[in-house]
Chains A and B, each alone.
Chain A
Amino acid sequence: MIPLPLQPDQVLKDALDFNRKITHGLLTLREVGNVEVGVTPKEAVYREDKLVLYRYKPTVDKPAKTPLLIVYALVNRPYMTDLQEDRSIVRNLLDHGEDVYLIDWGYPDGADRFLELDDYINRYIHHCVQYICKAHGLRRINLLGICQGGTFSLCYTALHTERVENLVTMVTPVDFHTSKNVLSDWARELDVDLLVDTVGNVPGELLNWSFLSLKPFRLTGQKYADMADILDDPDKLRNFLRMEKWIFDSPDQAGEAFRQFIKYFYQQNRLVTGGLEIGGREVSLKQVTIPVLNIYATEDHLVPPESSIALERHVGTRDYTAIPFPGGHIGIYVSARSQKEVPPAIAQWLQERSS
């Protein structure tokens, strides 16, 4: 007899139970309705093309004098930082006394196909910084760059050091050629010129396909099996659906900016090997001489920790702090532990350096 540690009647019962669970759970799914994301009160204060700059309503009487601008990635939507009340980095930063702004890049369409990194960094980010400086009568503000937004923030700081007081980077790729960087390996032989020339803006679905392909069994199978277990709990189901909405809410990527990002960063690794030029000016991490806090996730499968940690070896500042967070690329935004640890650490680090 094959020593398979299962009983036939159990197998049949489990399979049928699972489907019964789905059947009843879908009724809950109908009751739950569409989910809301981005819960903290905010006001649109500046617009340019499809970009909207938001200012969140401070929750303390005297917020920090130097505002904090969050620069999120172009991939996926920035409401991940404010997903729901008990999972909101924004909310926690506000509660710790920060005055928080956030850039929403919007959804590029065909008319945005020729936007370059120069537009995103030297025009969009720069104009947002200028707006905030003017609104607060300041010369410099703090930046918090997340993921690709962290890479952009490093470039911005290198090019406009006089505008940035302190820089915080979260799960930010710096060295794109470290070992076990699966996305980088996949991008090496991609003919990105042909891709962009063909599709124009790069469809969000293509990026989703790449991300799901990193762990296909878990992300397209097991995750939904786990979901079946929470189908009778509307609150847990809402949490799941918010995350699901975020994962698949992937804007298309402006073609030229995507071409440059893949080529200069993923394929040529210019941020650390040199030769990176944006808007006709050389970008060198040695030019980043302001205080830098670098937070990375130790289990990050999208941005390997080594890729972020590399910042220490290349950045010009001598006031460099690294905080490893025990979790993954997503957990660092939304896990209960991150809510308790990450925003307070950022706020404390900034307050220690407030001038």
Chain B
Amino acid sequence: MTGYKDSTETWAKVWADAQKQYLDTWMQLSQQGKNWTGAQTPFNWGGAGTWTEPMQQWSRLMTQTLPRDSQETSTRLFDLGKSYLSMGETFWRLLQQSKDFAGSEAHWQEAIKNALATASGGFDLTGQSADPWSGFATFWGLPLNTWQRFACSFSPFPGEMEKALRLEGATAPSDMTKAIRQMLSMPPVGYTREWQEQAQEWAQLYLEYAKAMQEFAQLLGKVAQRAAELFSQKLAGLFKEGKSLEGLRAAYNLWIDCGEDAYAEVVATPDFPHLQAQMVNALMRLKRHEQGMMDEVMTALNMPTRREMDTTHKRVHELKQQLQTLQDAMENIATPEVPRDKPRTTAAEPPSDTVKRETPVRKKTAAKPASSQAKHRVQPKK
């Protein structure tokens, strides 16, 4: 395939043809009664990554050739394409299992839920996973790892800090975390004690952030679990009504509906805004501390610091406000402003609290005396 590298159109054609050929072969095998056993599915038949690898290569190649406005969009599309394949594989496995299933309705609903749980990494609600976002963010490419990317985007540390650092014990059982905290609380001594103290505080703040993130991610894990419940219920409903889903896209849309419904339920709980704010606030405390540490390093190198810049910007802003006040005053002395005529008012009397009409109604104008209109002055800052 590398021979086609210079022509993206040819590359696209080759890949599309390969997919078609793959599909045709698979259909033939199915018709001949091939049994897909164990971990083998048509999605991974031919070797792991048979589908995703060419797609990733294609995405890397294409993204470079796309206009700037389209690059982010293409990345999202490719991500969705991978999710789509992953979803197809989940359904395919489920359908294969279904052949031998002979349970009650409640049992098969449970089977669907379990299949989705397996696909999503088990809806990890235990807090033991190395990745606090597992089970939700990764489920068919769903989306709330956006926070992680955002959180890392303004860290003074390069890359995905949270993943890279992931302190041992940050997501560990509480007794281990407690031990780490105690260790971090040991009084620093010696020539570098100030710096040690700051580093200890940073680690404490990081643990707090990791904990807050874990708690929020666990709450989101309930969304995936609830979405799976709703999904299996709706499938059962369709079946009872004698209806069917028209292909994978219909299943995908149904999954999205269930996801949004489940998410809305979780968002409506008091826990959601509390845990979300707790996570954001914890990250900000961590960043604030990092900034202080960075400022000390910059000061030692005789480089400008954030603190200095803020002071300067604030002074410039205050000067500008004072200048504006003076300018306004001078303009009023030089050319007195147009006489302040009466404001156009429809408030003939103290406004009533009665409900007003939806249809516009002109009331007679009865302005207040012009003198009652206070003239605005920009107040100098104290």
Contacts and interface: CB of A to CB of B under 8 A. Distances in A.
Contact of A220 (B91, B146, B362): B146
B288 A197 contact: yes
B8 A189 contact: no
Nearest to B261: A217
Contacts of B324: 123
Interface string B118-140: 00000000000000000000001
A289 B129 CA distance: 59
A4 B373 contact: no
Given A12-B88, A186-B276, A280-B379, A289 B343 contact: yes
Contacts of B140: 221
Contacts of A113: 310, 313
B244 A5 contact: yes
A291 interface: yes
Nearest to A180: B268
A248 interface: yes
Given A30-B8, A199-B154, A241-B69, A220 B143 contact: yes
Contacts of B346: 289-291, 317-319
B358 A322 contact: yes
Given A33-B67, A186-B276, A221-B83, A9 B27 contact: yes
Given A217-B143, A224-B76, A318-B361, A1 B98 contact: yes
Contacts of B83: 221
User: For A111, A122, A221, which residue has the most chain B Cβ atoms within 10 angstroms?
Assistant: A221
Interface in A302-317: 312-313, 315-317
Contact of B144 (A2, A216, A244): A216
A319 B363 contact: yes
Interface string A141-185: 000000000000000000111101100000000000000001001
Contacts of B102: 1
A20 interface: yes
A221 B137 CA distance: 12
A35 B324 CA distance: 40
Interface string A1-22: 1111111111111111011101
Interface in B268-326: 272-274, 276-278, 280-281, 284-285, 287-288, 291, 306, 309-310, 313-314, 316-318, 321, 324
A5 B313 contact: no
Given A113-B313, A203-B153, A319-B361, A216 B284 contact: no
Nearest to A25: B77
Nearest to A231: B77
Contact of A14 (B62, B147, B248): B248
Which of A4, A111, A222 has most chain B Cβ within 10 Å? A4
A44 interface: no
B348 A318 contact: yes
Contacts of A245: 69
Interface stretch (B160-168, B177-185, B233-241): B233-241
Interface string B140-153: 11111011001001
A200 B307 CA distance: 11
A229 to B, nearest CB: 9
A24 interface: yes
Contacts of B314: 114
B169 interface: no
B9 interface: yes
Interface string A106-145: 0000110111001100110010000000000001100000
A225 interface: yes
Interface residues of A, number: 106
A16 B95 contact: no
Contacts of A19: 19, 51, 55, 81, 84-85
A10 B314 CA distance: 63
**Main SS at interface, chain B:** helix
A244 B153 CA distance: 21
B376 A160 contact: yes
A30 B7 CA distance: 13
Interface string A246-287: 001000000000000000000000000000000111000010
Nearest to A194: B284
B176 interface: no
Interface string A184-218: 01101111001101111001011001001101111
25 contacts: A5-B239, A5-B243, A6-B251, A14-B249, A15-B84, A19-B19, A27-B8, A30-B67, A33-B69, A110-B309, A110-B313, A114-B313, A118-B379, A123-B324, A186-B273, A189-B273, A213-B144, A220-B143, A221-B256, A228-B80, A279-B378, A289-B347, A312-B356, A321-B358, A355-B344
Interface of B: 8-9, 12, 15-16, 19-20, 22-23, 26-27, 30, 42-43, 51, 55, 58, 62, 65-70, 72-74, 76-78, 80-81, 83-85, 87-89, 91-92, 94-99, 101-102, 108, 111-112, 140-144, 146-147, 150, 153-154, 235-236, 238-239, 243-245, 247-249, 251-253, 256, 259-260, 263, 267, 272-274, 276-278, 280-281, 284-285, 287-288, 291, 306, 309-310, 313-314, 316-318, 321, 324, 338, 340-348, 351, 353, 355-363, 373-374, 376, 378-379
The 9 residue pairs across chains A and B that have the minimum distance between CB atoms: A15-B88, A5-B244, A2-B98, A14-B248, A189-B277, A220-B143, A280-B379, A289-B345, A289-B347
Given A19-B81, A123-B324, A317-B347, 9 more contacts: A14-B249, A19-B55, A27-B8, A29-B67, A205-B153, A225-B252, A225-B253, A241-B69, A291-B360
